Structure 1
Amino acid sequence: MKRLWRALAYAAMATSWAGSAYAVSDAAILAPRPPKLLSEFGFFDDLKDRKPAAGVVNFAPSTALFSDGALKDRFVYVPEGKAASYVEGEAFEFPTGSALIKSFSFPADYADASSVVSIIETRVLLKHDSGWQAWAYVWNDEQTDATLNIAGAKVPVVSVAEDGAPISFTYAVPNKNQCKACHDVGGVIVPLGPKARNLHFELTYPDGTVANQLEYWQTIGILEGVPALDRIEAVPDWRDETADIDARARGWLDVNCAHCHRRTGPASNSGLFLNWSEPKGPSFGINKRPVAAGRGSGGRLFDIKPGDPDGSILVYRLESTEPGVMMPEIGRVLEDVEATDMLRRWISSLK
């Protein structure tokens, strides 16, 4: 009965969407040069509160990229009457006119849910006939709109951690070339997050609907070709202490490192491949000597030394905040302390 009611609810949503005219500007998405202001896309009915317009769907990955503790809101838009195609193991193939939207924000106090949240930037990936285009928009102080920024920006962030410790650092909005650095796979810009394994879990939507994201996307008509859910691998939330630590570690490394450290990525010459499907052996860093780490090795001999996190280059570079040593090279200035603690425990468990 529960499944029947869910099916009926999804069908009602799909029918409602099919009869609506989206407020999103397809012309702005496909323009040779993106609009100056984020509001010109029409992605949000209420820009400040990030209330999505009709046809704009929020989504979330099970394990997210660490960006100095930024809170992130993610949305997908697929033009009316079109759908993305399911791709096994990689990002879905989206039709021309699609958009992926991600906003980065910081609360005044992480322990206080009612504290003021300041949006720093919103990044968009826009699908043209020629491929994906990546752009960043920086929000104004009034939090009323965001302006296209190609050169990058430095924004001071002041907050309070959950344990009461003060947080103060300079957040870096990436420039155009830095966007390409992470999203370049085989010389082509691609999305990183919307893969089946990252979306294969239930999400609560703004209207209260609770649904598996893959099932939801398929039902409302923005994704086609989805196989039976029990045939799809799922990456666990790396923070879930009840999940297998090997899967948690591999999931975190896949999301945070494999955009470069994969066979078709910018760091392919390192011989270190940290993508989800890579066998757990030397190519995954296990007892692997670095090709050319320089001072980035910290005097350690192996990328991952089983049973010895302190002797592993991976841990050394993830814990570092020193330019030229730290990994990832861009996208953070702070250490992801909780994640590196989990990775230490994972390496300690390896034999």
Structure 2
Amino acid sequence: MEQYMQQELTDKIIEQAAILYDADPTTITKIGGFENFVYEYHKNKQDYILRFVHSGHRTYDLVLAEIEFIDYLDHHDARVSTVVHSIHDKIAEKITINSEHYFTVSVFEKARGDLVKNEDLTAEFYQMFGREVGKLHRLTKTFNPKHKRPQWYEENFSDIANKYLQYDSEIIDLYQQVEATIKSLPKSIDNYGLIHTDLHFGNMFYDGEKLTFFDFDDSAYKHFLSDIAIIIFYHFRGLDNRHEKYNEKVRFILHNVMKGYQLENMLDLEFFKHLNEFLLLRSVILYVVMTAAGFDQHENPRYREVHAYRREASINNWVAVDLDYVLEGL
């Protein structure tokens, strides 16, 4: 999130949200958030997630569209967090900051389980993971929303890059090239639709048997392959194609994910020849978002190191895989 948004979430705003959802403000604690502000509270033996979205990040209507999608998935047996209604029976509430800005507030039942651990990452886990993603993609084909989420390229990352990286034409040009390439790919109901777009392990909990997905803040109309590329990309943060085991590990993940995925949805395997474009797109976008969030000026040197690495990984395309090897036998 941009830094000014952090300054506008005051105790008064949090207290207003507590009233709207009949929550005890003394039980509300901050638990994180990168693009939004995420809190937790306890009520009637149940844990809940309280989320604040700044209007500078998403409009009220866009948040409504996100939550409408989650609610639809939940009612069709997808593994997502259940939406909680406010005291006004709304799935989202608007809290005014000033004449220009506001927060959109929403609440979800906290997902069962905990973050995925390294020891969980077996072939069976990835097959289960793939099947749940396949279910999301199957269900999106029949979703008819009242409120509309954006096309992925309407996020205007190019504008954000120009604002924060006007000195770095190499990154700006790279983003525009990759964006243009992916925009030109064919689209149909069988390969393109409303998807999560951010399926890294920070956006799901695992209870030992099943995953539950949350944080659909970045959901957009995009190629289904993007969700699969994200699974691969975030498994290898800090590990890239300079490592001798990189392609072997990508192959293991992809083959098991698709073994489960195809039990729920079919995706033309010919489309996987574009996997590297989607991996590179995420790498560049992540660098742009990190820059907007001030990683390059963070007091913690680790943040600055990660930021610098992400630029090098993007410019040098360290995320690319050996497609012949990785896709063989898929």
TM-score when scaled to structure 2?
0.29
More strand by share: 1
TM-score when scaled to structure 1?
0.28
**Which one has a bigger Cα radius of gyration?**
1
